[in-house]
Amino acid sequence: MTRLVLLLLLLVAAPAYADLTAAVLAMAHDGDYLPREFRGEAGERLTADLAVLFEIASTETGEPALLLAAVARNESSFRQNATGPAFEIGLMQLHPRHLPDGCADVKRLRQYRSFNIICGARELAAWRRTCGQAPTFRGTDKDTLSAYQSGRCSSSTGRAYAARVLRHLARGLAAGSGG
């Protein structure tokens, strides 16, 4: 049943997903290098799957799907098996000590991209409420992104992190709009 709903959602919103899929693929590039998992048919499926998951998380939390993709690109280069130096987990690099409500299952965070993305979106949305910002693509996401990385609405290391995420976002916007 869930697959049928996702298929119908994809058919109705195919142009939006095509743009988001193109944006995810553009963000996956590291300079001129495209990681192996993003090449060929398997790569097409992976980018399409990620686009759907980012869109679902966006629908649940109100966070822009493209911003979630930019965070995942910066955090893990879209790798679900990524582990950070402070034991952060998965695609969205969630810290086990600071998990949003409903996200305490560390095993699921490691195992399922969908759960990791939803929980990362919930955390970003919680920081957005704490920092008092509306989601935009005009650079005003910096305090929210800073808090996602550093745990404070504004910090020098968080600002540098926010700038990197916004660069990935700009690359995704350019590719997703065909430009």
Mean predicted confidence (pLDDT) in 120-137? 82
- Which of these ranges, 47-51, 84-88, 141-145, 165-169, has the smallest mean pLDDT? 141-145
Per-residue pLDDT band at 49 (split at 50, 70, 90): very high
Per-residue pLDDT band at 36 (split at 50, 70, 90): confident
DSSP conformation class of 138: S
- Mean pLDDT over each residue of the chain, to the nearest integer: 83
CATH assignment of the domain containing 154: 1.10.530.10
What's the pLDDT score for residue 21?
Answer: 86
**Strand runs (DSSP E) across the chain, as ranges?**
none
Contact at 8 Å (CB) between 71 and 77? no
What's the pLDDT score for residue 142?
Answer: 82
DSSP conformation class of 137: S
What's the pLDDT score for residue 88?
Answer: 94
Other C-beta atoms lying within 10 Å of the C-beta of residue 156: 9
What's the pLDDT score for residue 119?
Answer: 97
When divided into structural domains, the chain yields a total of 1
* Placement of tokens 């350019």 in the chain: 174
What's the pLDDT score for residue 1?
Answer: 46
Residue 95 CA: distances (Å) to CA of 27, 43, 56, 75, 91 = 23, 28, 22, 12, 12
Identify the domain containing residue 106 by its residue range: 2-176
Give the predicted TM-score (pTM) of the model: 0.85
Residue 66 pLDDT greater than 70, yes or no:
yes
Residue of higher predicted confidence among 34 and 136: 34
Nearest to 159 by CA among 177, 146, 175: 146
d(CA 72, CA 113): 11
What's the pLDDT score for residue 179?
Answer: 45
Residue count (the chain): 179
Residue 118 pLDDT greater than 80, yes or no:
yes
Mean predicted confidence (pLDDT) in 158-163? 86
